[in-house]
Amino acid sequence: MTGPIDLRSYALEDDEIELARMVRAFADEVVAPRAYEADRTHTLPLDVVAQMGELGLFGLPFPEKVGGQGGTYLALGLAIEALARADQSIAITLEAAVSLGAMPVFRFGTDAQRDELLPDLLAGRALAGFGLTEPEAGSDAGATRTTARRDDGEWVIEGSKQFITNSGTPLTRFVTVTAVTGREGDRPQISTIIVPSGTPGFTVGPAYDKVGWRASDTHPLSFDGCRVPEGNLLGEEGRGFANFLHILDEGRIAIAALATGAAEGCLEAALDYARSRVVFGAPLATRQGIQFTLARMQARVHTARLAWVRAAHLRDAGRPFKTEAAIAKLVSGDAAMDNARDATQIFGGNGFMNEYPVARHYRDSKILEIGEGTTEVQLLVIARALGVA
């Protein structure tokens, strides 16, 4: 494979390399030409999402018996990484659709819930969001204030959520929300409940005006006397938070793959620019200071990919991977942010113009140190594994 780093050096299977090649070609030919306009207009290109569905990307890590591709989480990561090189908004749309939308249904849903919801989710015909974060409950998700109580065979939901991805598109079929459904002494029992789009009392607020990921769909949600059937409980009552932590560990691998793709996209752009931009009679790439910067950028991509691929292998082998996922997200988030800064510096004034991909990566990459577990949370997870926290 062409590019600054050859994927064959990561001991990937032939079909995994072929998948990465296919998605990279799609990203270069279909996603990249649309990325600037989508970012400028804050618009998720649904036709691109539909093509991703036709390629089978939304079903990659799910077994064929439920409509998936029978692949692995490593395969999903390769696809997300390839997309993120060109457009992080498209990459996070896929990541959230799989990790936060479909995976909770697959992991914890009843047979009836799986049969009803998974076919369209895994084909990319529908999207779903996961409503966890609240104004007073982010990293401290145990501080959830949204409640759900039983009444005449239904759940009545009251509360609000914020920063919820894929929650307001025309394809959004439902959101899964965490809510307090009871208490054990002083501790809240948190459950997860499926709320279909359009349910009375469920309001999707106006889309956020974000610094980055501007083509990704993100909204606040509110629930005012919102009633859904008791059968919409996802998983065991009171196990919603524990189940989400398992989903979040997997999601960190996918986010690490996304961050690695962003870091590589910055490296590729900076390398091309340094070779072609002539300053004081010579290409930038002939300057040793630029060469060293590019070398550090490549080292970051390499290290980040090693970290997330290792975590994915552990997850796919059924082995513990929580610490490795935290390390991967920490390392790759740093790599994306550092490479975006260095690439912008190499581009000079052009790097400050949104039409150039490095400018968009610079804005986009900051959230990789915040979303799906902040840098500080990853450090806490790692410290706990060391026995010092």
pLDDT tens by residue, 24-50: 999 999 999 999 999 999 999 999 999
Q: Which residues are catalytic?
A: 372
Biggest CA–CA distance in the chain, Å, is 79
pLDDT at residue 1 in the model: 36
Nearest Cα neighbor of 164 from 199, 128, 113, 111 is 128
pLDDT at residue 141 in the model: 67
Structural domains of the chain in order of their starting residue, each with its CATH number: 7-127 (1.10.540.10), 128-237 (2.40.110.10), 242-385 (1.20.140.10)
- Give CA–CA dist 330/382, Å, rounded: 10
- Give CA–CA dist 62/186, Å, rounded: 38
Give the global pTM. Answer: 0.95
CA 271 to chain centre: 26
Tens of pLDDT, residues 107-146: 999 999 999 999 999 999 999 999 999 988 776 767 899 9
Decide: 179 and 156 in contact? Cβ < 8 Å.
no
pLDDT at residue 139 in the model: 67
Decide: 23 and 55 in contact? Cβ < 8 Å.
yes
Tens of pLDDT, residues 85-101: 999 999 999 999 999 99
Residue 287 — φ and ψ, nearest 5°? -85, 130
- The sign one gets for the Cα dihedral 293, 294, 295, 301 is positive
pLDDT at residue 317 in the model: 96
CA distances (Å), origin 342, targets 89, 199, 294, 346, 370 = 21, 47, 8, 6, 20
